[in-house]
Amino acid sequence: MTTELSPQPLDAFLGSVASTTYEEARRLPGAAVASSRDFDEIRAYVMDMYQGVHAVESYVENDGQVVDCVPEEAHPAARHWGGLAVAPDQGPPQLPESEAPLTADPRSREAVSPPPRQVSAARTAPAGTTPLYRTTLSALCRFPNLAASSAKQRPPALAASAGAEAPAAALGKRYATGEQNIPCLGGASRINVWNPFAAASNQSTFSQQWYYAGLDGSVLQTVECGWHVDITRYGNATPHFFVFSTRRNYEAGHSFYNEAGQAFQPVPNPYVRPGAPLAVSQSGGTQVEYKMGFYFTNNAWWLYFDDHAIGCYPAAWFNNGPMATNAARAKFGGEVGTLITQWPPMGSGRHASAGFGQAAYQRVAAVNPLSGGAVHATLSDAGSVSGPCYSLQITNNSGSDWGSYLFFGGPGGDSC
């Protein structure tokens, strides 16, 4: 029999936050907070987030994250946007069923078994509440400052000075992606999940989707989703479901992960929350995959996970920028980042040529054109793979239940 952990009550937690000093914060596990001024900003951010909030119930999920079930109207995004999001009556348009036999592609004969909601603890919040991952000093103090906790292009100072179109090498990033330039209302894919090794505090690895606009202008805006391993962010090496958006060139204060910054507006008691741990594929065994993607409808970019509406970025978040109406590019594939000379594995850590059961993939990649409906994506190599560390293979509109798909990944190394 397992014993359920009891978290510190929210009121007591906030009391401890208010009384924590910079010297105490520096002694927290993995602490990297740069100065007392940076710590004061982090502490003020946490206290402001929970101002006037009480928890009806709190519990610990299976990866150690604390969840507070707070009254719906008290959720930080509800206070920011004037209420939690109400899911659209209809979801995104679906691809038509393939008329080709499923054996048209040999991979379709393999068993692909996405488990039913094996994401975090399948627990329902009490009526009238919505679950919120607890934002802690120990998590935020693993970053040098508050801005770094929301930065996707690390190190943030270099990213801000380099600009959104800077070379990948300048940002400590490598990619293996397929993209399509198309005015669209979003898209989707089925993404399989792996647990590659990433060094604590120094590396991150992603499998994700991007929807961009403003590529040729002064303001680059995106909505992004997928899974990533980021030990600094979560305190463990488990792959986590994530959502991210920037409304201005990946700059601090305009770019946030998950529910930070009150940019992402969840639905009450969502099927899964951004930041949740995910089940993992087994090499040569069961391939765990989840369908996810965005669809712009009801004046918002709606995030769907296994066809459940999770929440949205309201068009207002983009300040009348290009993503306030539609995207201009869809991209699918892998990304890695590092702050050291060693580059981390991407995907499963195996090259694309290893194929099904060994390499990471995304399949049934689709986009939603402005004209309506859903079509198979027509992807081209984004030109981002270089050297022996990572590789990419794209197949467009295969005629099978895999539709358009890509295999990608690799072991990383020190000459990437």
String of DSSP letters for 233-283? HHSSSS-EEEEEEESSTT-TTSEEETTGGG-SEEPSS-SS-TT-B-----T
For the chain, give every domain's residue range. Answer: 97-120+172-409
Q: Is the pLDDT of residue 99 over 70?
A: no
Q: Report how far apart, in Å, the C-alpha atoms of 207 and of each of 3, 184, 204, 229, 386 are.
A: 34, 21, 11, 9, 18
Q: What is the pTM of this model?
A: 0.91
d(CA 111, CA 104): 15
- Which amino acid is it at 59? Y
Cα 184 to the center of its chain, rounded Å: 20
Q: Is the pLDDT of residue 285 over 50?
A: yes
Mean pLDDT (the chain) is 88
Q: Is 112 helix (H, G, I), strand (E, B) or coil?
A: strand
Nearest to 206 by CA among 154, 255, 156: 154
- Which amino acid is it at 300? A
Cα 236 to the center of its chain, rounded Å: 16
Q: Is the pLDDT of residue 107 over 80?
A: no
Cα 60 to the center of its chain, rounded Å: 21
pLDDT 10s digits, 336-362? 998 888 899 999 999 999 999 999 999
- Which amino acid is it at 211? Y
- pLDDT for 161 equals 32
Are 198 and 204 a contacting pair, CB within 8 Å?
A: yes
Q: What values do phi and psi take at 209, rounded to 5? A: -120, 145
Give strand pairing partners of 83. Answer: none
Q: Which tops the pLDDT comparison, 51 or 199?
A: 51
Q: Is the pLDDT of residue 120 over 50?
A: no
Which residues are within 8 A (CB) of 248 and not within 5 positions of it... i.e. 6 or more apart? 219, 220, 221, 254, 255, 321
